[in-house]
Structure 1
Amino acid sequence: MAIRLFIDGAAGTTGLEIRERLQGRSEFELILLDDAQRKDEAARREALHAADIAILCLPDEAAKEAVKLAEGSGTRIIDASSAHRVAEGWTYGFPELIGHDRIANARLVSNPGCYPTGFLALVAPLVRAGLLPADFPYTVNAVSGYSGGGNALIETFEADPDIAYQAYGIYMDHKHLPEMRKYASLLHSPVFSPAVVPAFRGMVVDIPLPLAAMVAAPADQLRACIMDFYASHEVINAWPETGRRKHQRIARSMAPFDGMHLWVSTNQDGTQARLMAMLDNLGKGASGAAIQNLNIMCGLPETTGLRL
């Protein structure tokens, strides 16, 4: 019997990409609402209660509302918003870090943010292993394709081809910071410097480490730890040196990609290092992560339907 699936917010960028990854998959029966029903509370409540699993592709407040509408049902929920990423009772949907079993057995799963996916993939294993300190004032330099900003930013960039770079989060109160701190077990929030570039999708997260000025393991040990940590995982690839050149860039023509590439680079004398991640903000950073979690929750191979 097919698993009944409702995507609340299916008309948005994340929802549309999730539907694309579900095309041709007979394991799921989609519960669909027409344009007149999408914002109708009664119709949404009915769909949420009828589903076995619901994926929320909504703004934060609307996602909280959807969870309330689902109360009293046994529906399992994957929330792609940032509303529940550090909330009590929710499982953080990063299987490589949190564990597949916890996600498989969870009723409420919150997708990680796109930038935190790259940051945590690099920093969390190293802090756990004691190779990086939990009390260091980390900085994160990151750029993303403009699709991560939703329809308004998409329209801005596509209407003005002269934009080459747009910094944001300049007051350093970005909504991603709580999950970055919590799941990396850090004592301080990192200084996060995100920006948008004129590519539709793609993301590079770059964490500079002044190794000579901090209590940390040498770069080769950091690299070895990252490679060993992800050796058995299919979605994340850790490279032995600085990675291939194509993994260090965002291409304007980048195809949808649900994996992630990691690497550690260092200067000649080993006094400095950079931890870097490349992913698709709409893939492992959003829709691909939702499909990976959906597969795990349904007892299916986790890479089914993913573009790797």
Structure 2
Amino acid sequence: MKKIFVDGLTGTTGLLIHERLSHYDQIEILKIDEHQKKNLNEKKKFLNAADIVFLCLPDQAAKESVALIDNPNTKVIDASTAHRIHKDWAYGIPELSKDHRNRIMSSSRVANPGCHASAFALAIYPLVKAGILGNDYPISLHTLTGYSGGGKELISKYEDSSEFNPYLRGPRHYRLGLDHKHLPEMKIQTGLSEEPLFNPIVGNFYKGLVATIPIKMSLMKIKKTGREIQQFLADYYKDAYFVRVNPYDLKDNLFEGGFDVTGSNDTNYCDLFVFSNEEKGTMVLMSRLDNLGKGASGAALQNMNIMLGLDEWTHLI
């Protein structure tokens, strides 16, 4: 019987992890009394009694919780940004490479990736690794995401029933200081020499995320057509259970000429698409996932399954 403790149970990610854990046999969920969760001595007992701890906390609080753990057998999956570029922490996208998977399997410290960063890395990492894109390629991207990624405060603003709710007027670009907290992992975990130019956009829908990455074929280090890139990605991810590379088929990948941002919702899949115009030498990679699934709680449970030696899809399909 494995003991699991979710530190930060009131947030969106923590609640979803807790809900999914209820489906597991041979797991005991440790629950701290609501009035004791800020009592560090009491919290320390729970952290050190667990086989696996999920941290669903702000960055500083996550670091403080890690510092309280002195049991060498306690493993940690941190959903915050705090440890995503820390050299001693495994980065929690097992599909990126065998090394990533093996490190997650053997590590006691795993940093769960960000939702935007997951979509970006799954599209770009293989191309940089293979030298198709140089690590100095001037990458830009935008993401369109549902408002649930902003947590309870943003959810409440979008779901405010006021007659003239300004949040419902249209999609909103944000982090226009170009300092999004996922940028460091986007750069380091994909092997880029520079951070990408990243513009996130939030829309009036609850969940779903797509990263759109334009590529100029003339700037590729190894020149390939859109169809060849689709085939390369399909070969790269052929054994990855939760990454689906969609066929190179413009019509079948669209809904009445448009792209469905929510098409991967309620799954733990990342769906990759390649669109291109060979005459113009342009290409667009699109990477879609559920920001609360593969982008958060689903990824955390997938990492736990790997760490416990379970089938990675356990209770995720």
TM range (shorter): over 0.9
Preserved contact between residue 204 and residue 248 of structure 1 (Cα < 8 Å): no
Q: CA deviation at 1:213?
A: 4.5
AA at the equivalent of 1:101? N
**CA RMSD, 1 decimal:** 1.8
Q: Deviations over 1:50-91 (max 9, x none)?
A: 001101011111100110111344210000001000013101
Q: Is the 8 A contact 1:48 1:69 kept in 2?
A: yes
The answer for the alignment partner of 2:313 in structure 1 is 303
Tell me the residue number matched to 1:36: 35
Q: Distance in 1 between matches of 2:53 and 2:281?
A: 48
Note if contact 1:209-1:274 (Cα within 8 Å) is conserved in structure 2.
yes
Structure 1 pair 201–11 and aligned structure 2 pair: CA distance change class (3 A): same
> Cα deviation per residue 1:234-268 (whole Å; 9 max; x = unaligned)?
111001214633693234x9852211100111014
- Residues 190 and 157 of structure 1: is their aligned pair in 2 closer, same or farther, counting only changes over 3 Å? same
Aligned length in residues = 305
After alignment, is 23-32 or 80-89 more displaced? 23-32
1:280 matched residue in structure 2: 290
SS in 1 for 2:122: helix
* Structure 1 unaligned spans of 5+: none
TM, length-normalised to structure 2: 0.91
SS of the residue 2:42 aligns to = helix
SS of structure 2 residue aligned to 1:248: coil
Structure 1 residue aligned with 2:74: 75
- Output aligned runs, 1:214-293, within 5 Å: 214-218=220-224, 219-241=226-248, 242=250, 244-245=253-254, 248-251=259-262, 255-269=265-279, 271-293=281-303
Structure 1 pair 33/163, CA: closer, same or farther in 2 (3 Å)?
A: farther
**Is the Cα–Cα contact under 8 Å of residues 199 and 250 in structure 1 kept in the other structure?**
no
Which deviations, in whole Å up to 9, do the C-alpha atoms of 1:179-227 show, x marking residues without a partner?
1111111111100000110111110000001213554422222211111
Distance across 1 between alignment mates of 2:243 and 2:233: 10
Rounded Cα–Cα distance in structure 2 between residues aligned with 1:137 and 1:96: 24
* Equivalent residues of 2:264, 2:271 under 8 A apart: no
Contact 1:48 1:70 in 2 (8 A): yes
SS at match of 1:245: coil
Q: Where does residue 120 of structure 1 map in the other structure?
A: 121
Residue in 2 aligned with 1:101? 102
Quickly say closer, same or farther: Cα 1:125–1:213, change in 2 above 3 A: closer
Indicate the percent of aligned positions where both proteins have the same amino acid.
Answer: 39
- Asked if the contact 1:248/1:278 (under 8 Å) is kept, the reply is no
Q: Distance in 1 between matches of 2:117 and 2:56?
A: 18
Q: What is the alpha-carbon distance in structure 2 between the residues aligned to residue 264 and residue 3 of structure 1?
A: 42
- 291 and 195 in structure 1: CA distance in 2 versus 1, 3 angstrom threshold: same
8 Å CA contact 2:132, 2:220 repeated in 1: no
Indicate which of 179, 183, 188 corresponds to 1:177. 183
- 1:189-228 to structure 2, matched below 5 A, reads 189-218=195-224, 219-228=226-235
1:204 and 1:249 in contact (8 A); partners too: no
Asked if 2 retains the 8 angstrom alpha-carbon contact of 1:131 and 1:222, the reply is no
Question: For residue 22 of structure 2, what is the aligned residue in structure 1?
Answer: 23
Structure 2, unpaired ranges of 5+:
none
Contact 1:104 1:297 (C-alpha < 8 Å) held by counterparts: yes
